[in-house]
Structure formats: structure tokens, C-alpha cells
Structure 1
Amino acid sequence: MSADASGAPLLLHWSEDGEAHSARWRSESGQAPPKRVQPVDDTLTADAAWRLACEGAALLWRGDYHNARQLLQAMGRRAGRRPGKKSVGRGRKAAQAPASAAEAFHLHRMAQAQRARTLGMLLIPVEAGGRIALRRAPDVHDVLAEAFGDEHADLLQAPFALSLRELLGLIGAHEWRRKGVPVPALGERIHPWYGVFSPIRGEYLDLVARAPLPAKTLAFDIGTGTGVIAALLARRGVQRVVATELLPRAIGCARDNLTRLGLSAQVDVVEADLFPAGRAPLVVCNPPWVPAKPTSAIEHAVYDPGSAMLRGFLHGLRAHLEPGGEGWLILSDLAEHLGLRSRDELLGWIRDAGLRALGREDIRPRHAKAADADDPLHAARAAETTSLWRLGAA
């Protein structure tokens, strides 16, 4: 968030040395500018910082940059502390375990959001030109220019402030974009841009790599993201792939990756809300897997309120399939184990869209959380299966 509904820039206001100050506000997660802002420096203790942040005070950092990073880590440890067990006395109720997997998920999301808001209260000032005027601060001009893109290039022309936590995320994303992420199914690296979901979970790509192709003339890749599925289809011999995206960052990211891989002549990346014009013998979609509200740009690839993209894909698929064609729906059943969507609902949506299941390929997740017994959602993650549903007209 960098502007209000009218397009006017959002401002952060504070008082320092007896004078009123303001700067533009930047929040990728859409947080409004904090109303209370307190300039702080290296003399602030972690306990005091955590208390102020919990009380809703933003901390505008004036000290050493590396000390700010250490302070954020210390605040994070306080955020991760679990309350100790307390004896139950008169008038005190014992804490109850969540009644269902869905309740556990929602409580986990609420705790995550509260943690993010509190840790996001440590702010870093950025001068015009994208320079951080703090001791031992890194040069982040290229990081910021890369993340904001041309549509927000004006942000670098005036001083602004953003949370240190978000800045570190931008720096990390810059490194991922620079180095790339290895994709074994492709035998290449994919370079994700900030705000575009990285293909670090490779099992769903293994499904795309091994499922039998119904044809090799044309395929649509709906919501291509980094372009990794489109690239994989092209490498499997599909002569032409049309990949769709709606977000400018994702469009730029997909085109960049396909150019790096030498596939830009074989794959067209077009701006579209779900489907391009026409029909194809193969239409592929990997929608967000969990029906919940995203709280940041990167979460739009994971959370899909009301399963809107999933239902939109199913509803429009038949009209974009050639006779005898297949739609590949790549979907985890994590939402089912969390009690957020049932298998009967999914099958009902498929049936109501005039579709039928031609077959299904399954694979189990390999990511670390599936084996982490301390994860609040461990039971659901341990039971998760990712599937490639082969759908055709009923």
C-alpha cells in the first residue's frame, strides 16, 4: 500500500527533536501507516521494543542498521515464545485445544498475522534515490527498484519508510531472482520475482513432467506465475503454449524466465483473467490450494478466498477445450484435511461444470513441514497429497 483510494500517497507522521516530520509510506502487505511513530536507536532494549510494538507504536530506526536486524531477531524470539502452563484456579479457565482442524488453521493464521503486524513495527527510513542513511546499511537501490517496478518508480523519488521485516524480504527475493531456483523436473533454474510464487515445492512439477500429453500442438497454462509449467510443457515438445497472467509482476517474471530458457518463441505470455481466446487440446491450471484470505502479495499464490480461481477455472474449462481435449487441474488436498473444502464439494464443482475425471496422478509432498511434528498444522500436512486431475467434457 502506497496510496489511498484517490491515488494520493499515504504518509507516515512523527515528531522528532520538537519538529513535525512526514514521509511516504510503503507496505507490500497493505498495512495502513502506523498512527503512533517513535524514533528509536541502539539504546532501545529488545524487551522495550517488543512492549512498544505490542502496544501499537511503530519504531522508526535511527541507529546502526545491523543492530536493527539483531533487534528484529530478538523481537522474533519473543514473538515465538509459547506461554507456560498455568495452574487452573478459581475463575480461571484452562486453555482448550482447537475443536477442529479448521479452527486450528484459523487460529494459526490469526497468530501469524498478529506476529507479522507486531514485527512489522520496526521501520527503516529510506532517502530519495533509494538510499538508507544508517550506519552499515546496504545499498538497496536496485533491490527497491526491482521490487517496486515501473508502475511505482516514483516511490524512489521521495523519502519513504517501510518495515525492516519487509525490506529483508525484498533483499531475499532479490537474491532468489539473481541466483534462481533449481527445478529438477525442468533441469534448469527459474528466477522468481518478488511477489511471484517460487516453485520450491517441486512435486507438482513432477506430475506435469510425467502425465501423458493428449496432444503436442497447443496448450494453455492458466495463471502461469513464473512460467515454470509453460516452460515444462514446451520442453516436453508442445509446439505452442499460451500462458496467461493478470499481475504485471508475474507477466514480466514469466517472460523473463522464458527468454532465459530460450523458449520465448514457443510460449506466448498474455494478460488475461484466466483463459485466453480460443480452444486447446490441453489446458493446465495450478490454482492456489487453500480457500483463505491472503495477507500479502506472495500469499495470493497460496490462498484463494472462496476457491474463486479454482471454481472459475472449472466453470470455464469446457468452453476452452477442443473436442477430446483434457484439462489438467493441479491441486493439493490440504484444504480437505484442514476442513476448509470437502472432496464432495470439489467433485460437485467438476460435475456442475459439465466435466468428468478421466484419471488422476498423485504424489506426496517432500517439503520439511510435512515431517515437522511441532508445526501447528502437522496432522494435515502429514496427510497431504498433491494430485493432477485429468478432466474432460462429460
Structure 2
Amino acid sequence: MNEPQIIQWLDEDGADRSARWRSENGAAPPRRVVIADDTTKADDAYRLACEGTALLWRGDFQNARQLLQAMTRRADRTPRRADRRKRKGETPSQVQAFHLHRQAQAQRARTLGMVLIPVEAGHKISLRRAPDVEQACVEAHGQADEPYVTSLRELQGLIGAHEWRKKGVPIPALDGDRIHPHYGVFSPVRGEYVDLVAAAPLPSGSLAFDIGTGTGVLAAVLARRGVARVVGTDQDERALACARENVNRLGLADQVDVIKADLFPPGRAPLVVCNPPWVPARPSSPLEYAVYDPDSQMLRGFLNGLAEHLEPGGEGWLILSDLAEHLGLRTRAELLDAFETADLRVLDRMDIKPRHPRAMDSSDPLYEARAAEVTSLWRLGTR
């Protein structure tokens, strides 16, 4: 087990202070820390943050939120490298635009992560007008028996995830019943892939495997469609807890088993379903593993192991966005070659266009690729 990281600073009296550093994104504790309060101006805070100096907040909590909003506006006004290239008459390729966008996102996250909040044992915040964040923090981190320091931006993410977990996401394929995502588990707010699984013809109603079950939404859809037994697998403890909670909440515990496994459970099934991360790039934080799949490891692992886990005549359903193809990160030929290498053949393909707002946002740096994106359910069989 890794030793807790420590953040150090000088308090208002010049005395050395330290506390545990907590970062879900895996960021190292800032080396330079200054005290900030209600008198700190947004321009000064933004300049310090850009230089790598963190601001440990001592003032009113709501004023810290306003400061972060002001810093966000300044960060979003900063010309992107891609925009500067356009002004010079240079048009980056889609893959260049993607990498520039990722670099800009990472720099923005680092800068805005420099506003820090001290948290006491029990996830209590003693700042004026601070909200009660105990339950949100317990859901993400468990109990805390010692003080720590975390970024305000990350803390806001915990609070937002807690609200999503409370109210849930309505799923039309479940007759409007809700899936309640936990912190760190990919939320089914993009419902295209769920709709595909709800519409594809079932090869059998006896057994299905749901590989990388996440919230358990696809396992639940298959169970509601009448599959007698569904086995959902995942390696992430948060996902396992989330899927089990959703299955129980929906009254499907007698049909759906959720187990910890690296991709496949033991045995074979007439239907094996997988919705892997769709962008073959390295995630910059643990929360991005649902979207970014370095070197297409999960995709290739699913394809290469599928044949030995399918019953004769069975089908593997691969649900995959083609965004990577439009970004120049993977070609359609490479995907088809991966099918062939795994001794798989395409039985059919169902397509759906994305409905998320960024697909219609022409100001998005990746708009050209997002506007062309299609999510497909590939029905695969053995050769």
C-alpha cells in the first residue's frame, strides 16, 4: 500500500504546517503553497496558479467558489495553441487537434486545481459558509480519521457525483427506471449504447456475460429483456459496488451476478457483451479510464478472448464509438484486422448517432470528429 503523500506550507504566522494530501486524479502535492483568503484577487490567484503556486484557502467557502469561477473564465480566455495556429493560417490535422486539446485540458486542470481546501477529520470543513460534504466524501473515499488538504475543484466533483448518485439517471430502456452512478464510475448519460443493446436481437435468453459492467446498466437491460442469468464483471471496486447496488435497487439480484474478474468470468455463454473505452489514448487520471484505453488494451483483450468464451453459435456484442477513427487514432481497417486476428467474423452491425451536446457544439476543438461520430453494435461470431 502506498504511503500517504504530505503537503507542506507556512501558516499566517510563518510556522511550518503539513497535512495529508488527497488527490483522486493522482496529482502530486504542490511544492509551493501560499495562504489565500477573501482579499485575494482573481488576477493574482490565476497568475500564481499558472506559475505552479497553490492557494490554501482560509476565507469564506462561497468566496472560494467565486474565485475559482473567475479563474475558470480567465483560463477559458487563454488562446489555445490550435487557435493560434489557425490565426497563422495553419490548420492542424484531427490527430494534432486531439493532442493539442488534451494538452490544453491537462494544463487547465492543473491550473484550476491550485485552489486548495483544508478538510478536518471526519470530512468536516470549518470555513465560513462551507457545505456539509461528509456523505459525498465518504462515498468516494471512505472514512477519514485525520485532516487533509484537497483541491476545491475536485471537492466540487465529489459533491456533483453525490447529487447524481442520489437522483440517478433515467434509462428509457429500463422503462424510465434510474441507474445511480457512484463517484468514479462512468455514468450512462450518453444513452446511445444502451439503446443499441436494448434493440439488438438476442441470440439466446439463457445466459449473457457483461464485460466491464460499470454501473450495471447493460446487465440490467439484458435481464429486463428476459435473459435468465447475466454475469457482470469488473475489476474496479467502485464499479462492483455500484453495479450491485443498482441491480438490487431494480429488483434483479436473482438474475444478475456481479463478480470481480479481469474481463471474462469462467465458462462460456451464448451472448457476451462489452462496451470498452473508445479512445486509444492514455488517461490523465483514474476517472478517465472509462473513455481512454491505452493501446486499445481492453478492446484487444475482449476480442482476443471472445472466441473461447462463446458457446457454439453464440454472439459477441462489441459496442464501440468510431470517434477514434475520425480523430486519426485508429483506422477502420485496424479494427477489422483485430476481428480477423481474433478469428471473429461480423454477423451484423447496428449504428446510432450520438445525441450528447458536444456533437452539436461547433466551438468544440474536436467538433469535426464529434459531428461525424457513430456508435456501433458489432454482432460478432466465431469463424
Q: Does TM, normalized by the shorter one, top 0.5?
A: yes
Structure 1, unaligned stretches of length 5 or more? 1-5
1:159 aligns with 2:147: yes
Q: Distance in 2 between the 1:393 and 1:162 partners?
A: 50
Matches within 5 A, 1:222-371: 222-371=211-360
TM-score, length-scaled by structure 1: 0.94
Are residues 1:114 and 2:107 paired?
yes
Aligned length: 379
CA contact (8 A) 2:215 2:242 kept: yes
Whole-Å separation in 1 of the counterparts to 2:291 and 2:200: 23
CA root-mean-square deviation: 1.6
Contact (CA 8 Å) 1:279, 1:321: kept in 2 or not? yes
Q: What is the Cα deviation at residue 265 of structure 1?
A: 1.2
2:190 partner SS: coil
2-structure distance, mates of 1:84, 1:128: 40
Counterparts of 1:260 and 1:276 in 2: how far apart (Å)?
23
Letter in 1 for 2:147: P
Q: Following TM superposition, by how much is the alpha carbon of 1:128 offset from its aligned partner in structure 2, in angstroms? A: 1.1
Aligned partners of 1:276, 1:111: CA distance in 2, in Å? 39
Tell me the distance in 2 between the aligned counterparts of 1:236 and 1:146.
31
Aligned equivalents of 2:104, 2:79: Cα separation in 1: 13
Q: Is the 8 A contact 1:185 1:202 kept in 2?
A: no
Match of 1:148 in 2: 141
What amino acid is aligned across from residue 214 of structure 1 in structure 2? P
Shift of 1:93: 12
Residues 1:125 and 2:114 are matched in the alignment = no
Q: Does residue 80 of the first structure (1) align with residue 76 of the second (2)? A: yes
SS at match of 1:75: helix
Rounded to whole Å, the distance in 2 between the matches of 1:97 and 1:27 is: 38
**2:127 aligned to 115, 131, 134, which one?**
134
The SS at the match of 2:123 is coil
Displacement, 1:264?
1.0
The question of 1:172 aligning with 2:141 is answered no
How far is 1:82 from its partner? Answer: 4.2
Aligned to 2:94: 101
- Unpaired runs of 5+ in structure 2? none
Amino acid at match of 1:44: T
Deviation per CA, 1:46-103: give whole Å up to 9, x if none.
Answer: 0000000001000000000000000000000000004399xx9xxx996453431001
Question: Could you list the runs of 4 or more consecutive aligned residues of structure 1 that deviate by over 2 angstroms after TM superposition?
Answer: 82-85, 92-99
Q: Residue deviations 1:289-325, cap 9 Å, x none?
A: 0011112232110110111100000000000000000
2:364 matched to which residue of 1? 375
Cα separation, 1, equivalents of 2:184 and 2:80: 37
Distance 1:383 1:142 in 2: 41
